[in-house]
Amino acid sequence: MKAKVVTKNGQMSPNGRERRFELRSGTRGTGRKIAAVTFWPWSPKSVEAAEEYIFAAAQRAGVEIVG
């Protein structure tokens, strides 16, 4: 099975807007969310941790991440 990582705007925080990675499979509007993680785009550590989480979630779910 294949899945895609979608980036969305998160809530406003005191120092800017958070971002959200969602790992989704299926076609737009009918797919399902496999995993999601919120991160701070201005923090390299936060971005790296969010990417690691999404890749680990894809591996656990047995899906391949595509463009």
Q: How far is CA 24 from the centre of its chain?
A: 8
Domain count, the chain: 1
pLDDT on residue 28: 80
SS (H, E, C) 22-66: EEEECCCCCCEEEEEEEECCCCHHHHHHHHHHHHHHHHHHCCEEE
Running along the chain, 67 residues long, what does each successive block of 10 average in pLDDT? 90 82 88 93 95 96 91
Residue-number span of the structural domain to which 14 is assigned:
2-66
pLDDT on residue 31: 85
pLDDT on residue 27: 83
State how far the alpha carbon of 47 is from the alpha carbons of 11, 24, 26, 50, in Å. 16, 18, 25, 5
pLDDT on residue 10: 81
pTM as predicted: 0.84
